[in-house]
Chain A
Amino acid sequence: MKNKSFFTKSFYIFYVTFILLIVGAFYIFRTFDNTSSDIEKLTLQSNIVYISNIANNIAALINKKTDMQLMNTLQKSKALRESLQENLELFRTKRYRYIYVVQKIPRTEDFRFLLDGAKKEKSEFLEIFQPLNLQKWLGVYKTKEPCYFRHNDIKNLWLTYLQPIVQHNQVVAIIAIDFSLHEYNYMHHELSELSSSVKVFMSLLLFIFILVLILAFIDKKRVYLLQKQAKEIQHFNTTLQNKIDEEVEKNREKDKKILEQSRLAQMGEMLGMIAHQWRQPINAISATSITINMQAQMDILDAKSAISLAEKIEELTQHLSKTIDDFRDFFKPTKEQQNITYADLLASTLDIVGVSIQNKNITITTDIKSDVVFHTYVNELKQVLLNLIKNAEDVLEEKKITNAFIKIEAIENRLIVRDNGGGIPEDIIEKVFDPYFSTKTLNGTGLGLYMSKTIIENHCNGTLSVTNDADGAVFCIVLPQT
């Protein structure tokens, strides 16, 4: 959104600049046109001022040297004519192409040459002459004022300046000065060169501007594409995250299922253990009841011994009941974390499995060098320990190890369970924590270690690892200290 507004903003800036540039260009062209026509006017004026001075001087000179009868005077004296013509020649330059003095032939509209300041193609004295723009020439005779006019039809001439020679308030002749086009063309050439360079410059500027505009547009497009890509990536990432979450969720479901399965399996085992636990008290109850029976038949059952025997049975049934409670507690998943030490954990676990293990001739020893109190899921932890003990028991039983033992050590925050069952073969040690991995052909679900690892590492934030030592497998639980 921010980017978008930025782009529209910059676009407006470009747009406005573009308009300004075009307006500026038009303004410059207009000003230039005005200026060039001004220059033309100024040049014309300065030329006219200059030439009127010259023409005045020439007129004065001619007046001084001649009298009223200009034509007659000149006709009489060839020398005077020549000296005056030399004077005219002096003024003739590149700029002033022709300078000559003509006189109107009375009663006609033709003129005749009196003096000609030309070297080449010189007219003859009194040669007849038909000027163009005749009215202007006749006009000078009427107004007695100098005049000038432009040419469009005469080769190489720009304009003509006419200066009357006035004697006794009468125009006796006209000094005609024809301006060469050379000057005019030169000026025009310079101006048009200037104008063309201005035009080139302006169009270059416009071109550059348009180029910048196009580049900006391309860049905008590029940035847009980049943004689009970034968005796509982001979208991809979120969908990826979603997928991951989904997978994780699925995994969790699977774990739940697995947990259920393993719990069922453990139930079966538990029943076995309960059976072990109960055998001895049930035997004792049976023996007591037999004793009561025998004493009653032999009639030696007195009240005192009857009470004592009943109390014994009572005590034994209490024990049975307690065992059931213990097992029930054991399989209740803990909703909340509770405080426990390794010592308590071991005591309550061995309460349950201790008897069944000892019945299998396996020595179980504990060594507790830890009084750390953990705040954790106690029942789950018990199940882990139970699993480890069960696995050890399984391997010891399967391999029929003599002097079989299980040693449980607690050091600080570590709980180590070792046995002398020969360890886990190196080629499968990597896989024992995988779900459904089991080497047991009968009754092996392969979920025990997988569940244990999940409980320790995912729920209790600890680690569960396995190594082999000289005697057998060594499982190590490390719990975080709070």
Chain B
Amino acid sequence: MKLLFVLLIFFISVHADVYTQKLYETILGSIFKERPIPIFVSGEAKATLEKSTLFYIVKNCQESSVAVVGDDFTPKQECKNIPIFATTHRSYMRIEDAFGAFYWRKGRPQIYFRKRGLKMFHLNLPLDLQRFIDEK
């Protein structure tokens, strides 16, 4: 019985993890068309993204199509032309050029896109993601 309980908990958390990965895949996969998508990752999201076959993690920011960054990221010169996708609220706020963000808050997935960032890198959002664009 105990074992079943542990398994249940394990399943839920694994499930959530898979959910996170799926969300990254749908969001980024619908914006960037190459397969696999070369991405530069910094911060917490690395572990999740490594598991996905849709992405292919590059060490150098310049070789990537998109930089998926967390709090530890500081905008560098070489990443200037690369669209940035934030994985925390703070980094999304800090990096004004970031075109979007995805993170968890109070157990709810938070997805945001900035018009400015999208325009800057000529990114097109599919219809079902457009409702996440914040109007400011």
| Chain A residues near B (Cβ < 8 Å) | 97-98, 100, 108, 110, 121, 123-124, 127-132, 154-157, 176, 178, 181, 185, 189, 192-193, 196
Contacts and interface: CB of A to CB of B under 8 A. Distances in A.
8 contacts: A110-B134, A123-B106, A124-B89, A129-B105, A130-B108, A131-B106, A155-B16, A156-B107
B106 A178 contact: yes
Nearest to A133: B108
B60 interface: no
A66 B15 CA distance: 42
Nearest to A98: B106
Interface stretch (B1-9, B49-57, B121-129): B1-9
Contacts of B107: 97-98, 154-157, 178
A131 to B, nearest CB: 6
Given A121-B105, A128-B110, A155-B12, 16 more contacts: A98-B106, A108-B135, A124-B89, A124-B90, A129-B108, A130-B109, A130-B110, A130-B132, A131-B106, A155-B15, A155-B104, A155-B107, A156-B16, A178-B107, A185-B9, A189-B1
B40 interface: no
B89 A130 contact: no
B111 interface: yes
Number of chain B interface residues as a range = 20 to 34
Given A155-B13, A192-B1, A127 B108 contact: no
Interface string B91-107: 00100000000001111
Nearest to B8: A185
Contacts of A121: 105
B112 interface: yes
Contacts of A129: 105-106, 108, 110
7 closest A-B pairs (Cβ-Cβ)?
Answer: A155-B16, A154-B107, A98-B106, A157-B107, A189-B5, A193-B1, A132-B108
A97 B107 CA distance: 10
B112 to A, nearest CB: 7
A124 B105 CA distance: 11
A105 to B, nearest CB: 10
Most buried by B among A130, A157, A185: A130
Nearest to B12: A155
Interface of B: 1, 4-5, 8-9, 12-13, 15-16, 19, 89-90, 93, 104-112, 132, 134-135
Contacts of A196: 1
A100 B16 contact: no
Contacts of B13: 155-156
Given A98-B106, A108-B135, A157-B107, A127 B89 contact: yes
A185 B19 CA distance: 21
Contacts of B15: 155
Given A185-B5, A192-B1, A128 B108 contact: no
A123 B110 CA distance: 12
Contacts of A157: 107
Most buried by A among B15, B89, B108, B134: B108
Contacts of B104: 155
B105 A123 contact: yes
A100 B1 contact: no
A121 B87 CA distance: 13
A100 B106 contact: yes
Nearest to A109: B131
A195 to B, nearest CB: 10
A383 to B, nearest CB: 102
A176 B93 CA distance: 24
A185 B132 CA distance: 33
A95 to B, nearest CB: 15
B108 A131 contact: yes
A298 to B, nearest CB: 152
Contacts of A189: 1, 5
Contacts of A132: 108
Contacts of A110: 134
Contacts of A130: 108-111, 132
A130 B110 CA distance: 6
A417 to B, nearest CB: 104
A98 B105 CA distance: 10
A193 B3 CA distance: 12
Contacts of B93: 124
A428 B113 CA distance: 137
Most buried by A among B19, B89, B132, B134: B89
Contact of B134 (A97, A128, A155, A193): A128
Contacts of B110: 128-130
A29 to B, nearest CB: 18
Contact of A154 (B1, B108, B134): B108
A37 to B, nearest CB: 19
A108 B136 CA distance: 11
